[in-house]
Structure 1
């Protein structure tokens, strides 16, 4: 995955030490209830769409931008699904990051999709009950986003109704 230029600049002075960063995940549904996924070029695995906001960029703007950049689908954000601090991860180059993930439910405004950058090998729409293999990260978020559109935001460690 491409490292944003602002992170390259931070890493130039911070080295590989832990950086706490915002992350945005977009769970995009079309009017038929299908969910948009991309098969990542770095791992070859299917995954939900997401990325890191640019400095000054709002989470909803980031979601809309990332979805378009990766899939060419235009979408709008409907609601916050989940907010969760993830466990720190170490990348093969030695960089350590911990992400505060904000997952947003989005509605597709267009449905034609295609690989629109170098981060994906393929993209496509899937029925929620016929998803390709996904990590728990993606399946949990799809399940929460597919539920009641008026459900409260899910927060790690807080009682859920």
Structure 2
């Protein structure tokens, strides 16, 4: 079985009610923040803006760098024939427009904003501090 370390990006996106955007991913049929891989030749900033556009069909802007997540406990995924540990750069971003009602595509089954105390239980593997870190208003940079 092969083992890899790959760069990834993720974003916490809030609306004006303080609700966080989650994506029900088609690949695992679980909720998650917008996230994805960094492609060759792009920066982490370019990668997260591309992922947001791909997964919501909406442009965005980065508003804050939250931190870097590399803990094997939350960043290791087991696939058929390989195991990947992602080094994830986590941002807060703001959508520049509205998501089309009922939007879905080959990666996104559903998009929905949730109140922080009503996050669904069926979350994809993610660092346990993802929400509290995103809600931190002290401009702390997290290394987890």
- Aligned pairs, number: 139
Out of 28, 42, 66, the residue aligned to residue 81 of structure 1 is 66
**Retained in 1: the 8 A contact 2:28–2:124?**
no
Give me the whole-angstrom Cα distance separating, in 1, the residues matched to 2:83 and 2:132: 28
Higher deviation after alignment, 113-122 or 102-111: 113-122
Query: Which position in structure 1 is the counterpart of 2:126?
Result: 137
Q: Is structure 2 residue 18 aligned with structure 1 residue 42?
A: no
**Retained in 1: the 8 A contact 2:56–2:111?**
yes
TM-score (structure 2 length as normaliser): 0.85
Q: Deviation at 1:153?
A: 0.6
Higher deviation after alignment, 82-91 or 62-71: 82-91
**Retained in 2: the 8 A contact 1:47–1:138?**
no
SS in 2 for 1:42: coil
> What does 1:6-45 align with in structure 2 at a 5 Å threshold?
16-45=1-30
TM-score (structure 1 length as normaliser): 0.77
> What does 1:1-161 align with in structure 2 at a 5 Å threshold?
16-87=1-72, 88-91=76-79, 93-113=80-100, 114-133=102-121, 134-135=123-124, 137=126, 140-148=129-137, 150-156=138-144
Say what the alpha-carbon RMSD is for the aligned residues: 1.9
**Retained in 2: the 8 A contact 1:67–1:75?**
yes
SS in 1 for 2:116: coil
Which consecutive unaligned segments of at least 5 residues does structure 2 have? Answer: none
Question: 4+ residue stretches of structure 1 with deviation over 3 A?
Answer: 113-116
Q: Which has the higher contact order (CA 8 A, sep 6+)?
A: 2
**Retained in 1: the 8 A contact 2:63–2:91?**
yes
Which consecutive unaligned segments of at least 5 residues does structure 1 have? Answer: 1-15, 157-161
Give me the whole-angstrom Cα distance separating, in 1, the residues matched to 2:125 and 2:39: 26
